[in-house]
Amino acid sequence: MEFSEQLDIYLRARFTLMILVSQEEERAVQAILEVCEKSHRPCLSWDLADGFAWISVNSAPPPTAKDPLTALEQIEKSDLPNAIFILKDFHEVWGNPQAKRKIRNISQKLKYTRKSIIITTPSSKIPDELRDEVVTIEFPLPIHQELNRVLDGLTESSGVKINLTTLGKEKLVQAAVGLTSAQAQRVFAKAIVKDGQLDDRDIDLVTQEKKLIIRETEALEYYAVSETPADVGGLGILKEWLRLRERAFTMEARNYGLPAPKGIALIGIPGTGKSLTAKMIGGLWHLPLMRLDVGALFGSLVGESEERTRKALKMAETIAPCVVWIDEMEKGLSQGGMDGGTSMRVFGTILTWMQEKTAPCFVVATANNIASLPPELLRKGRFDEIFFLDLPTFEERMEIFSVHIQKRNRFPNTYDLESLAVQAEGYVGSEIEQAIIDAMYMGFNDNQREFTTADIMVSLQRQVPLSISQRETITMLRNWLREGRAQSASFKETEDAENQFVQIQLDIRKSE
């Protein structure tokens, strides 16, 4: 339901006290005015600086009031039978017991009239005394059509040269989705004054500005992804699953009757590429990647954590379709119970959103320690699939070596990948990458010669892989997979070969 339709229903139902939560006061007031004009209602605003002022057209002098209590008294005495009174920044008086009591009194009296009060505020915090009296409305951020009008308003100015293609304009506006109207106007204006024109190159500028603005929300971070499946070694089953859903957010899929995918959980051994996979999904599907920093959700004030969570999730829905990446969720969503239940309430908010969201936000949640995850998180319905990222197989290790060697501007076919893959049995992807970096240091410090297969072999032998140093933890994780609780992201080597390798490595360490 659109905001104007929702507000009109509330007014006709004689809701006497409403709180409109929005950072965009000017746009919110304009939206209220449009509803009032359609229903022929007079509309006034009040703020602490200028007192009462007419919002709708009216020649009568407005009431006089310079303090909140007097303003409420004037509203109570007003002879305008169906007036709408907008109180700006009235949340500043929540600490005044008299003002709160007066609001409650007026709210109860206005039930027998057609007058209504709308409080515009950037915060959704409501005093406990008013919760039963008030209706809270979240004012939505501007959609694509509104941002398009903002851009048109700027480009109509004389002297602005437009070199945008139709597709370029659509992408430019889409890049601004998730910003307020004022933020979008500033970003578009910056793109114009930069070189006196608008063209397809300005899409990247808008994206970068948007990245900085979203970062101010503290809990969300915008990632400009460039990773592709070629940058991720192995994980063939997971990659195929993702490719089948590459067009899942298109109109073709909607018309076919396919629902938008909800998300996946990536559970497994540290260093196997869970975070890299999350970035790869954004690049594969050409969707913006938003990282939800669970740790940044928590604030020191009562109710602050829950409000940050709601704002972050609301922002993600506005930008949708997008990928929402929750990294190492077991660390942020602990169940210690030492924070007065705040972490559990934040966790509950995220769980409910994951289950009930209708916006096409694809959630990628990663975790290393499954013992810290509550069972309700991983039940069916939260995610489309739960993948386990195991130790890489022989073929995957060859592919991982090839990816990282090529990333360092070398030709993989000049290295003995098969021998390296054999030597690296039991190593995760991050350990293989580090072995290549260590080998490069050897070559660099030896008269900057080219590093060789032998150098990588030496680096591998010096490392103690996780499969040895954390053998008990990894065994527990792999047993969790064998119990059928998740789907393997790749094909596994035989269990006997794995156990034999671990035993050989242990014997070598003991002999040394």
Is residue 499 over pLDDT 60?
A: no
Condensed to tens digits (0 to 9), the pLDDT of residues 231-263 reads 888 888 999 999 999 888 877 888 898 888 999
CA–CA distance, 295 with 167 (Å, rounded to integer): 38
Quick one: tokens of 259? 């629902």
- Would you state the pLDDT for residue 45? 95
Tell me whether residue 224 is in a domain.
Answer: no
Q: Are residues 235 and 353 in the same domain?
A: yes
CATH classification of the domain holding 263:
3.40.50.300
CA–CA distance, 199 with 204 (Å, rounded to integer): 11
Place of tokens 């020649």: 59
Tell me whether residue 49 is in a domain.
Answer: yes
CATH classification of the domain holding 504:
1.10.8.60
Tell me whether residue 25 is in a domain.
Answer: yes
Q: Are residues 379 and 431 in the same domain?
A: no
- Would you state the pLDDT for residue 495? 44
User: How many CA atoms does the CB half-sphere of 215 hold within 13 Å?
Assistant: 9
CA–CA distance, 287 with 321 (Å, rounded to integer): 7
Q: Are residues 130 and 171 in the same domain?
A: no
Geometric angle at alpha carbon 417, from 411 and 420, rounded to 5°: 130
Is pTM, for the whole model, over 0.75?
A: no
How many C-beta atoms surround the C-beta of residue 388 within 10 A? 24
Quick one: tokens of 22? 């929005």
Quick one: tokens of 258? 């396919």
Tell me whether residue 334 is in a domain.
Answer: yes
What 3-state class would DSSP assign to 234? coil
Q: Last residue of a domain, which of 138, 168, 186?
A: 138
Place of tokens 């290790």: 397
Closest CA to 367 of 345, 341, 386, 350: 386
Geometric angle at alpha carbon 202, from 198 and 203, rounded to 5°: 125
Is residue 493 over pLDDT 60?
A: no
Q: Are residues 85 and 198 in the same domain?
A: no
CB burial of 438-459 (b: ≥16 within 10 Å; e: otherwise) equals bbbebeeeeeeeebebebbbeb
Q: Are residues 372 and 397 in the same domain?
A: no
Tell me whether residue 451 is in a domain.
Answer: yes
For residue 353, the enclosing domain spans 229-389
Q: Last residue of a domain, which of 325, 355, 389?
A: 389
**394-407 and 429-445 are packed helices; what angle lies between their axes, rounded to 10 degrees?**
40
Specify which of 348-362, 456-470, 493-507 reaches the highest per-range mean pLDDT. Answer: 456-470
- Asked if residue 116 lies in contact with residue 110, where contact means CB atoms within 8 angstroms, the answer is yes
How many C-beta atoms surround the C-beta of residue 501 within 10 A? 16
CA–CA distance, 21 with 123 (Å, rounded to integer): 6
Q: Are residues 117 and 185 in the same domain?
A: no
Q: Phi-psi category of 426—alpha, beta or left, where left has phi over 0 and alpha has psi -120 to 50?
A: left
Q: Are residues 384 and 400 in the same domain?
A: no
Place of tokens 């990222």: 389
Average pLDDT over residues 195-223: 78
Q: Are residues 16 and 86 in the same domain?
A: yes
CA–CA distance, 221 with 218 (Å, rounded to integer): 8
Q: What are phi and psi of 477, to 5 degrees?
A: -65, -40
H or E element that contains 25: helix 25-38
- Would you state the pLDDT for residue 418? 94
Q: Are residues 381 and 311 in the same domain?
A: yes
Tell me whether residue 223 is in a domain.
Answer: no
Condensed to tens digits (0 to 9), the pLDDT of residues 6-37 reads 999 999 999 999 999 998 999 999 999 999 99
Condensed to tens digits (0 to 9), the pLDDT of residues 151-197 reads 888 887 656 778 878 878 888 888 888 888 888 888 888 888 887 77
CA distances from 104 to 57, 66, 109, 134, 373 (A): 29, 20, 9, 9, 43
- Would you state the pLDDT for residue 494? 39
Q: Are residues 129 and 45 in the same domain?
A: yes
- pLDDT bracket for residue 339 (50, 70, 90): low
- Would you state the pLDDT for residue 15? 93
CATH classification of the domain holding 151:
1.10.8
Tell me whether residue 125 is in a domain.
Answer: yes
Tell me whether residue 494 is in a domain.
Answer: yes
Q: Are residues 125 and 164 in the same domain?
A: no
User: How many CA atoms does the CB half-sphere of 19 hold within 13 Å?
Assistant: 20
Place of tokens 């169940």: 335
How confident is the prediction for the chain on average, in pLDDT?
Answer: 85
Q: Last residue of a domain, which of 88, 109, 138?
A: 138
Q: Are residues 460 and 354 in the same domain?
A: no
How many C-beta atoms surround the C-beta of residue 349 within 10 A? 18
- Give the number of domains in the chain: 4
Q: Which residue has the higher pLDDT, 19 or 224?
A: 19
CA–CA distance, 318 with 372 (Å, rounded to integer): 31
Condensed to tens digits (0 to 9), the pLDDT of residues 69-109 reads 999 999 999 988 889 999 998 888 888 899 899 999 999 88
Residue 132, judged by CB atoms within 10 A of its CB (0-12, 13-18, 19+), counts as exposed
